[in-house]
């Protein structure tokens, strides 16, 4: 492999020190690929560094990580470069339940015992993707836990004892000895990926498989979803444009002999109804088809049969030492009921309390605004103008402070809930932040729509939100970091071609950490909310979102490639809790659209003209809502969640496992 | 084993003929238990009988059923008695995925290869239940399929060729050569079961494990559900009684100085509301807790990991010869999409058409009734009185004819949909019949409640339905068959202690076939519908149902033990589609109760008194409905579907299978 050979050359340029030897003879190789950089504290004691290296290279049976370690320039430097030998790579691949192509061409959960029947198993650079190889190193780091209470050499006992079964690297991070663990970029691959992804200026398609190989499946799932969702916006965008143009055309064609139509810019009632029903069916279809797409992608990316539940717990997981009742391996045992109790009795009330604070904030804002207006009109002087802005400013400050506080509280709560699996932790954490942010984003709109019932105001607000938030987001996400990157820190941080390898690695450590996919998904969800909840008020929503998403794909791609450290990415089999969030929004949207339809001025006018009672209209709206929800549920039920060929593959694997279990005689 | 020994004695009394020898030496035993009786046509050709016996005793590898066969009195008689040797029993147990206690005490999917590590594997009478042993014989009968097109000896070719992969016994049944296949009662066990179940006159508890052992898990699930549901009726029954008594007590205590209360027998508004909300929460809790109970029972009964999908297809399944893509075994291959097409394009429209016919029937009934009344009042003569009854009679006749026709059509459609698995066939068939019957039972009530909005009429109708249908059901289900059994056919049919074994077996064949559990479940569902949909109208519903169920348990038990042939019962892991039917009813009930509350005279009166507009009341009802559905969904989500210990056991089995698959090297 060229890239392997090249890495070997580069490794040669690391000044001083060499790679540690692998503990098993089969893994001995001249070519070691630097995968992960571990930054230690500046003032780290050489004794500590040496001990850390010894833990890293020790075999798993002795409680080590069984990695290959390069101590940087010398034993005193504050950098350690890590790689993983073949055996470690393969064992972790098996432990995570990743599927790889078998010799019969099917993706099959990898088995170390049966490794020679898998394709390309001899060449790690082909067999595993870069993201997988790097995640293996990270996984092994988390794996290292103390066997019994002990002190860390070179660290005074007063600063902390490492308890039995405590995660070593979590402890080292807490003590400030390990500053950061960084996945290293492969500049050549990154260049090729960037070229195929955003640099060529093409507007359609993304190299999803290359993204998966380079950044891992959780990042690739985000971009796949973005891609899928962008394409899905085309039909509602076309419909929206058609509904905007149709009344104009009709007015132009019909001249003056048509009766007074709805006012300029306001869609007709039939248009509103078409839009509402279309949106409802559309959102169901999109989410159902996305589930099928997810199933195909998991097969393609080998994450169909992940066994996270049987793998090592996340490093933060703690509890009295015990034995995993399923795998029989020693690990911390924190009972489920205790976690559920914490969620039910602490987390849920705390989240509820914050939601109440948001609602109170909104209520006092409206109250103070009214007060200020009264005050202004009674004193009527330009000196008093700032008073008019006071409530808004106070509300914004309050909102921001509350948001920051809430994020910290949510983080602490999710950590305290003590989830065993990373995905479970992420789901609970995401749900918390999601509920708050969603409430924060939509409370005002819901208030305008259903309490004030002021649809023109809702339309104006929606249009400004769509345009302004998009501009602000794109700016804050990309333009500012890009400018900062280019003009303020480029000379110091950016890796240059002629730097020695060592410095290139260090330079990557100075980039800011990747902020995660949460804000990206949240942006999509809020957008989707504007579209599905209120779109029958403002038909151009879909078109604006479509335009936004096409640029969003490129800016997000640029961001993750150039502006941040390469994130570690755990193998993922779906977009997690976001799937549910989008589906729930779909249901809420049916309710919302039916009511908006009922409140719309056109319908009111029609009712007056035809003499239809408001009571009758209300009953009609309710029946429509019930029928639409029923249709939605039937559509969701009828479309299978995975394509037939995926079910077949899964059944084959299941059948083989059942057969294998039966063939096995236990002692 | 005593029962085994005894069977051996009984077998000795079979006149003439002996059991065929098992094909494998390990199964040779002096004690053969007669499990299944096969009744052939009176005029069956001895050549055909001989050939059938040869197919039954041939080993599986030669396309036979590998059973033990006893040819009755002699080779000419029209009776064949069947049993299964140990090897066949064990192989089928493995094939069905039944769990049995492992030596470590856990229920584990049985593996023939690892058989010696299972408890009691040497004694088939203990290892498998009677129901399982009998089902094994039935399963093996279905298993026999022709390898290539051939004729049946002794049957003229004109009457039918047995095609390749066609089920032999289905063909023989079609040709009328096999009249019936009957699971044999074990009089001693049956006596003990009856004693423990209903004879002692105890009102609480049923011997569920013995029922499962004797009748199999699908029957046992019905009785478990009946049991569970009866207990669950206690709280609403108490509440109903309390709500009835409370206003009476208050009136008695308050004397005349209280304001005019609601009329006699009509519950107060707050009572109605309490009842509606309570019912909604109650129905959710009951179904969620039943799911947990189901999970425990499947573990206890070893049906937790059934692999019906990998076992033999049901005998009626046909299609071009091919290979099962999962198991790789040769079998008919009927593509899924073709089945889905048949369901979507034929079955669904046909069912819809019949529902329209029901609705039309109801509409014409109302129309004709009005006509008849007009006619009667205009002619006003006693000679015209029959005219008044004409519409009702016509409607009843029409309803019955339609019902019978529909049942046949539904049967034919489900057969034609060509389901591979018995459970899938059952689910589709049940759904069809269910939808029709449900519509039939409730259309009139819904019409009264929501179109006529006549709550007093609804209350009267509900009370009469509850009392009359219960009396009619109990009569038609038990009393009449019992009387017929005792006075008309007892001398000829009933087995007597001193009859030879042979005659006892024949006598069982003369009992009517068990009509299946469908009518029993349907009765429960319709009852549950009365309770959950309309109970806030008539609070005593739950009490009446409770009383009905307590007798229902005993009569159903008596019926299945004494009045019918013993049914074969496939291993089951739940109550199938009935679970969903009950859950859907729960949702419909929220909608229904909210509207009933809105229409109730008490609420109307209150609205008039307080000046609350009907518009406001409507909006309040809608909001209440939405909140209640949300609460219902949260409750359903929060209660886990299976107890933690069951999930743990399942995870352990899954983990072991995954490990076993990894340990296995494929060639």
The predicted-structure confidence for B537-595, as pLDDT tens digits, reads as follows 778 888 888 988 888 888 888 888 888 889 998 899 999 899 999 999 988 988 888 88
A559 pLDDT higher than 60 = yes
| Per-residue CA distances from A604 to A258, A461, B445 (Å) | 20, 22, 35
Lowest mean pLDDT among B424-438, B489-503, B561-575: B489-503
Distance separating alpha carbons of residues B595 and B625, to the nearest angstrom = 9
* Chain B environment of A663 (Cβ under 8 Å): 111, 113, 660, 664
In this prediction, residues A559-581 reach a mean pLDDT of: 89
The alpha carbon of residue A210 is apart from the nearest alpha carbon of chain B, in Å, by 29
What percentage of chain A exceeds 90 in pLDDT?
24
**In this structure, what token pair is assigned to residue B654?**
């899954």
In this prediction, residues B243-268 reach a mean pLDDT of: 64
- Report pLDDT for A485: 65
Q: Which of A114, A336, A661 sits opposite B657 (nearest CB)?
A: A661
- Report pLDDT for B10: 40
Q: Which of residues 477-496 of A touch B (CB under 8 A)?
A: none
Residue B535: helix, strand or coil by DSSP?
Answer: coil
Q: Which of A508, A503, A423 is nearest to A36 (CA)?
A: A508
Q: Which of residues 70-99 of B touch A (CB under 8 A)?
A: 94, 97
Q: Which of A615, A644, A656 sits opposite B614 (nearest CB)?
A: A615
- Report pLDDT for B544: 87
Decide if B661 touches A, using CB distance below 8 A: yes
Concatenating the DSSP letter of every residue in A492-542 gives: HHS--TTS-HHHHHHHHHTSPPP--SHHHHHHHHHHHHHHHHHTTT-TTHH
- CA B329, B332, B333, B337 dihedral sign is negative
The alpha carbon of residue A95 is apart from the nearest alpha carbon of chain B, in Å, by 10
Distance separating alpha carbons of residues B568 and B139, to the nearest angstrom = 10
- CB B663 to CB A666 under 8 A? no
**In this structure, what token pair is assigned to residue B363?**
């509409």
In this prediction, residues A95-120 reach a mean pLDDT of: 90
Residues forming beta bridges with residue A109, ordered by sequence position: A99
Residue A162: helix, strand or coil by DSSP?
Answer: strand
For B337, residues 6+ apart whose C-beta sits below 8 A from its C-beta are A644
Decide if A329 touches B, using CB distance below 8 A: no
In this prediction, residues A290-309 reach a mean pLDDT of: 91
- CA B27, B32, B33, B35 dihedral sign is positive
- Report pLDDT for A311: 83
- Report pLDDT for A5: 38
Lowest mean pLDDT among A63-77, B32-46, B246-260, B634-648: B246-260
Select the more confidently predicted residue: A601 or B341.
Answer: B341
Best mutation target among B588, B658, B665, B667 (most A Cβ atoms within 10 Å) is B658
pLDDT tens by residue, A589-603: 888 888 888 877 777
- Report pLDDT for A663: 81
Decide if B340 touches A, using CB distance below 8 A: no
Return the top range by mean pLDDT from A252-256, A630-634, B11-15. A630-634
For A596, residues 6+ apart whose C-beta sits below 8 A from its C-beta are A272, A276, A449, A455, A534, A536, A537
In this prediction, residues B34-51 reach a mean pLDDT of: 87
The alpha carbon of residue B523 is apart from the nearest alpha carbon of chain A, in Å, by 26
* Chain B environment of A112 (Cβ under 8 Å): 662
pLDDT tens by residue, B122-141: 888 899 999 999 999 999 99
In this prediction, residues B607-611 reach a mean pLDDT of: 77
* Chain B environment of A621 (Cβ under 8 Å): none
- Report pLDDT for B262: 46
Distance separating alpha carbons of residues A88 and A94, to the nearest angstrom = 10
Decide if B239 contacts B542 (C-beta within 8 A): yes
Residue B575: helix, strand or coil by DSSP?
Answer: coil
In this prediction, residues A567-576 reach a mean pLDDT of: 90
- CB A657 to CB B661 under 8 A? yes
Decide if B3 touches A, using CB distance below 8 A: no
B355 pLDDT higher than 50 = yes
- Report pLDDT for B261: 45
A6 pLDDT higher than 60 = no
Distance separating alpha carbons of residues B416 and B338, to the nearest angstrom = 11
- Report pLDDT for A521: 92
B598 pLDDT higher than 70 = yes
Q: Which of B437, B444, B415, B439 is nearest to B428 (CA)?
A: B415
Backbone angles phi, psi at B170, to 5 degrees: -65, -40
Select the more confidently predicted residue: B379 or A245.
Answer: A245
By CA distance, what is A645's nearest residue in B?
Answer: B325
Decide if A318 contacts A418 (C-beta within 8 A): yes
A12 pLDDT higher than 50 = no
Q: Which of residues 554-593 of A touch B (CB under 8 A)?
A: 591
Select the more confidently predicted residue: A399 or A290.
Answer: A290
pLDDT band at A338 (very low <50, low <70, confident <90, very high): very high
The alpha carbon of residue B309 is apart from the nearest alpha carbon of chain A, in Å, by 9
Decide if A667 touches B, using CB distance below 8 A: no
* Chain A environment of B653 (Cβ under 8 Å): 661
In this prediction, residues B85-114 reach a mean pLDDT of: 90
Decide if B623 touches A, using CB distance below 8 A: no
pLDDT band at B11 (very low <50, low <70, confident <90, very high): very low
Select the more confidently predicted residue: A632 or A13.
Answer: A632
- Report pLDDT for A375: 82
pLDDT band at A2 (very low <50, low <70, confident <90, very high): very low
pLDDT tens by residue, A125-138: 899 999 999 999 99
- CB A657 to CB B660 under 8 A? yes
**B152: which DSSP letter?**
P
Lowest mean pLDDT among A23-32, A46-55, B297-306, B646-655: A23-32
Token pair 């809608």 is found at B622
Q: Which of A597, A617, A621 is nearest to A608 (CA)?
A: A617
Decide if A596 contacts A537 (C-beta within 8 A): yes
B255 pLDDT higher than 70 = no
B477 pLDDT higher than 50 = yes
Return the top range by mean pLDDT from A395-409, B246-260, B367-381. A395-409
By CA distance, what is B308's nearest residue in A?
Answer: A655
**In this structure, what token pair is assigned to residue B278?**
């309570």
By CA distance, what is A651's nearest residue in B?
Answer: B326
Distance separating alpha carbons of residues A8 and A212, to the nearest angstrom = 24
In this prediction, residues A259-278 reach a mean pLDDT of: 65
Decide if A336 touches B, using CB distance below 8 A: yes
In this prediction, residues B432-452 reach a mean pLDDT of: 87
- Report pLDDT for B492: 47
Return the top range by mean pLDDT from A296-300, A306-310, B254-258. A296-300
Lowest mean pLDDT among A90-94, A213-217, A360-364, A454-458: A454-458
- CB B111 to CB A657 under 8 A? no
In this prediction, residues A475-500 reach a mean pLDDT of: 61
Lowest mean pLDDT among A500-514, A549-563, B638-652: A500-514
Decide if B597 contacts B273 (C-beta within 8 A): yes
* Average pLDDT of every residue of chain B: 83
For A522, residues 6+ apart whose C-beta sits below 8 A from its C-beta are A433, A434, A437
pLDDT tens by residue, A497-514: 555 666 677 777 788 888
- Report pLDDT for A3: 40
B257 pLDDT higher than 50 = no
Concatenating the DSSP letter of every residue in B392-456 gives: HHHHHHHHHHHHHHHHHHHHHHHHHTT-SSHHHHHHHHHHHHHHHHHHHHHHHHHIIIIII--HH
What percentage of chain A exceeds 70 in pLDDT?
89
* Average pLDDT of every residue of chain A: 83
The alpha carbon of residue B398 is apart from the nearest alpha carbon of chain A, in Å, by 30
- Report pLDDT for B202: 64
pLDDT band at B8 (very low <50, low <70, confident <90, very high): very low
| Per-residue CA distances from B348 to A281, B341, B413 (Å) | 21, 10, 10
Decide if A651 touches B, using CB distance below 8 A: yes
In this prediction, residues B191-213 reach a mean pLDDT of: 83
Predicted TM-score of the model (pTM): 0.87
pLDDT band at A258 (very low <50, low <70, confident <90, very high): very low
* Cβ neighbourhood burial of A284 (10 Å; 0-12, 13-18, 19+): buried
């Amino acid at each position: 492999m060229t890239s392997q050979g090249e890495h070997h050359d580069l490794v040669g340029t690391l000044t001083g020190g060499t790679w540690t030897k692998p503990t098993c003879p089969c893994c001995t190789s001249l070519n070691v690929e630097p995968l992960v950089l571990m930054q230690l504290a500046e003032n780290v004691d050489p004794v500590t560094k040496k001990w850390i290296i010894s833990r890293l290279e020790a075999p798993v049976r002795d409680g080590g990580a069984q990695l290959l370690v390069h101590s940087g320039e010398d034993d005193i430097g504050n950098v350690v470069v890590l790689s993983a030998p073949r055996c470690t790579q393969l064992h972790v691949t098996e432990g995570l339940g990743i599927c790889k192509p078998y010799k019969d061409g099917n993706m099959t959960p990898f088995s170390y015992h049966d490794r020679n029947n898998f394709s390309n198993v001899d060449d790690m650079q082909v067999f595993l993707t870069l993201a997988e190889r790097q995640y293996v190193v990270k996984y092994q780091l988390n794996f290292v836990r103390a066997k019994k209470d002990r002190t860390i050499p070179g660290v005074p006992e007063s600063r902390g004892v490492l308890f039995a079964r405590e995660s070593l690297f979590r402890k080292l991070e807490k003590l400030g000895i390990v500053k950061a663990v960084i996945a290293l970029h492969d500049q050549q691959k990154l260049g090729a990926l960037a070229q195929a992804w955003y640099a060529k200026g093409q507007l359609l398609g993304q190299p999803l498989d290359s993204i998966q190989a380079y950044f891992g499946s959780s990042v690739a799932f985000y971009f796949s979803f973005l891609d899928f969702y962008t394409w899905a916006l085309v039909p509602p965008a076309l419909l929206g444009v058609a509904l905007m143009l149709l009344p104009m055309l009709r007015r132009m064609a019909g001249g003056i002999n048509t009766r007074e139509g709805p006012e300029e810019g306001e869609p007709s009632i039939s248009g509103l109804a078409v839009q509402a029903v279309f949106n409802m069916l559309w959102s169901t279809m999109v989410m159902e088809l996305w589930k099928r797409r997810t199933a195909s992608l998991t097969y393609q990316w080998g994450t169909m049969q992940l066994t996270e539940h049987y793998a090592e717990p996340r490093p933060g997981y703690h509890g009295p030492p015990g034995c995993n009742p399923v795998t029989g391996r020693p690990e911390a045992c924190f009972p489920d009921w205790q976690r559920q109790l914490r969620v039910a009795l602490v987390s849920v009330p705390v989240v509820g309390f914050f939601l109440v604070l948001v609602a109170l904030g909104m209520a006092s804002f409206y109250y103070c605004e009214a007060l200020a207006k009264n005050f202004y009109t009674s004193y009527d002087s330009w000196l008093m103008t700032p008073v008019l802005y006071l409530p808004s400013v106070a509300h914004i400050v309050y909102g921001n402070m509350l948001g920051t506080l809430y994020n910290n509280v949510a983080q602490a709560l999710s950590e305290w809930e003590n989830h065993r699996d990373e995905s479970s932790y992420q789901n609970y954490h995401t749900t918390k932040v999601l509920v708050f942010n969603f409430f924060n984003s939509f409370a005002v709109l819901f208030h305008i729509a259903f309490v004030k019932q002021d649809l023109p105001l809702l339309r104006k607000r929606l249009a400004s939100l769509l345009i302004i938030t998009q501009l602000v987001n794109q700016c804050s996400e990309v333009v500012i970091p890009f400018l900062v990157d280019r003009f303020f820190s480029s000379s110091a941080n950016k890796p240059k071609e002629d730097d020695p390898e060592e410095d290139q690695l260090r330079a990557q450590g100075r980039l800011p950490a990747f902020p995660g996919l949460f804000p990206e998904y949240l942006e999509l969800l809020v957008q989707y909310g504007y579209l599905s909840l209120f779109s029958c008020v403002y038909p151009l929503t879909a078109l604006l979102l479509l335009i936004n998403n096409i640029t969003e794909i490129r800016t997000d791609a640029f961001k993750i490639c150039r502006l941040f450290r390469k994130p570690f990415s755990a193998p993922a089999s779906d977009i997690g809790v976001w799937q549910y969030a989008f589906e729930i929004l779909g249901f809420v949207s049916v309710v919302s659209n039916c009511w908006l339809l009922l409140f719309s001025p056109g319908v009111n006018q029609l009712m007056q003209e035809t003499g239809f009672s408001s009571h009758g209209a209300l009953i009609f709206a309710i029946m429509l809502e019930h029928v639409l929800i029923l249709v939605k549920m039937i559509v969701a039920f009828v479309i299978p969640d995975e394509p037939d060929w995926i079910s077949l593959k899964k059944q084959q694997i299941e059948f083989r496992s059942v057969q294998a279990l039966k063939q096995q005689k236990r002692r």
